[in-house]
Amino acid sequence: AQTVTQSQPEMSVQEAETVTLSCTYDTSESNYYLFWYKQPPSRQMILVIRQEAYKQQNATENRFSVNFQKAAKSFSLKISDSQLGDTAMYFCAFMNKNTGNQFYFGTGTSLTVIP
């Protein structure tokens, strides 16, 4: 079974500053995907960034980047130049590439960007 752990229930950051959200996971699989999803008050889960486990290069999407440490099973999200619109719940998620149809989510981190 796969487990995803987010140890920071709440975090805050000043606007324009940088913040890092932590995520660790446990799996015996070697072929998988990792994701960060954002859930604003509108409730829709929005994909922030994704990483394929076989790719050593860390994924980057504009102000969002990850630090993927496969051996340590760590997948942290860095948000640079934080904006008020980044205020949301952030969920780390795992998906087995072989089955590909089920997310395993962490418990989430509530991020507040302070003006």
Partner 1 sequence: KAGVTQTPRYLIKTRGQQVTLSCSPISGHRSVSWYQQTPGQGLQFLFEYFSETQRNKGNFPGRFSGRQFSNSRSEMNVSTLELGDSALYLCASSLSRDSYGYTFGSGTRLTVV
Closest CB 22 distance from partner 1, rounded Å: 16
Q: Provide the phi-psi class of 82: left if phi over 0, else alpha when psi is between -120 and 50, else beta.
A: beta
Question: For partner 1, which is the closer residue by CB, 40 or 81?
Answer: 40
Copy the structure tokens of residue 58.
Answer: 């860390």
Distance, CA of 84 to CA of 81 (rounded, Å) = 10
Closest CB 115 distance from partner 1, rounded Å: 26
Question: For partner 1, which is the closer residue by CB, 64 or 105?
Answer: 105
Strands (E), the chain: 3-5, 10-14, 19-21, 24-26, 32-39, 46-52, 60-61, 64-69, 74-79, 88-96, 103-105, 109-114
Closest CB 3 distance from partner 1, rounded Å: 11
Question: For partner 1, which is the closer residue by CB, 6 or 82?
Answer: 6
Question: For partner 1, which is the closer residue by CB, 17 or 97?
Answer: 97
Closest CB 47 distance from partner 1, rounded Å: 8
Binding site for partner 1 (CB under 8 A): 33, 35, 37, 42-47, 50, 91, 95, 97, 99-108
